[in-house]
Amino acid sequence: MSALRVARAATGRDLVVKFEGGYHGHADSLLVEAGSGAATLSIPGSAGVAASVAAQTLIATYNDLSSVAALLERYAGMVAAVIVEPIAANMGVVTAAPGFLAGLRELTNQAGALLIFDEVITGFRVAPGGAQELYGVRPDLTVLGKIIGGGLPVGAYGGRADLLDLVAPAGPVYQAGTLSGHPAVMAAGEAALLELTPDVYAGIEARGDRLEEGLRGEGMSVARVGSLLTLFFRGKRPTNFREAKQCDSEAFGQFFRRMRDRGVLLPPSQFEAWFISAAHDDTAIDATLEAARE
């Protein structure tokens, strides 16, 4: 919400492009065609969102640059920003196709719009510099969530100095929060980040690779980037939200309950990512794979 406010102030434009199945928090304008819990409950938006607010959000298809280009052309000079999860993780894990993120960078540059990476999930998980380090694409603004507070409640957005100079008290864009910069949260975040050594990332990658290989089976596919993983009950990994919705959600529900009964608690939705952490040692991976085979 705050990042979009900055984008609108910087460009003098109102419209925003997001992707079908992308979840960027529960601000009214971002609940249009959201993934995550809204997708699980088959809710395309939310009651109480004004039609005039929803109309400010344009919907593109993830991994389809032509759908973005068409919107930017149709609404030329009206789009403030394109906001995207650089690795979609609220329709299950859906990886960006080669050239997709670089293509977004080029299209937004041409249209005079800002590119916003929502790295609430990917920030620090896939690399110390997030997905933008992994893929070598620099957005104008980056959004981060509670991962920077060691899991405690905090959020942040950052970007170019000229954009952040628009934020109060330096500029006219209002920003406030009762818990902003809370010292206990910041201390927890610093402690967590200090634990993220190259060896820790390497260990998570190795265990993630073993989990990915062990979960593969007939009629199923696994998508993984670093510590993010989803087991899809679909023979082929989806490339967008429409394909993700073709998964056998009933089979996933049966699998979830079976795993829970065997002592393995998974995200209870086909459209949510699994998070592998440093706490998941080889014993935990072995137990997960053993439960999945039973």
What does the pLDDT profile of the chain (294 residues) look like in tens digits? Answer: 999 999 999 999 999 999 999 989 877 777 776 555 454 444 456 677 777 778 889 999 999 999 999 999 999 999 999 999 999 999 999 999 999 999 999 999 999 999 999 999 999 999 999 999 999 999 999 999 998 999 999 999 999 999 999 999 999 999 888 878 899 999 999 999 999 999 999 999 999 999 999 999 888 999 999 999 999 999 999 999 999 999 999 999 999 999 999 999 999 999 999 999 999 999 999 999 999 998
What is the value of pTM for the model shown?
0.91
List of residues 6+ apart from 103 with CB closer than 8 A: 65, 68
Q: How far apart, in whole angstroms, are the C-alpha atoms of residue 186 and residue 131?
A: 22
At residue 45, the pLDDT reads: 60
List domains and CATH numbers for the chain: 2-181 (3.40.640.10), 198-293 (3.90.1150.10)
Q: Which structure tokens are listed for 29?
A: 């304008």
Catalytic residue, chosen from 118, 135, 140, 201, is: 118
User: Of these residues, 18, 23, 157, 245, which one is catalytic?
Assistant: 23
Residue 118 a catalytic site member: yes
Active site residue 18: no
pLDDT at 46: 63
* Beta carbons within 8 Å of 151's beta carbon, 6+ residues apart: 188, 192
Residue 117: its pLDDT value, please? 98
Which residue in 28, 64, 75, 146 is the catalytic one? 146
State whether residue 222 is helix, strand or coil: strand
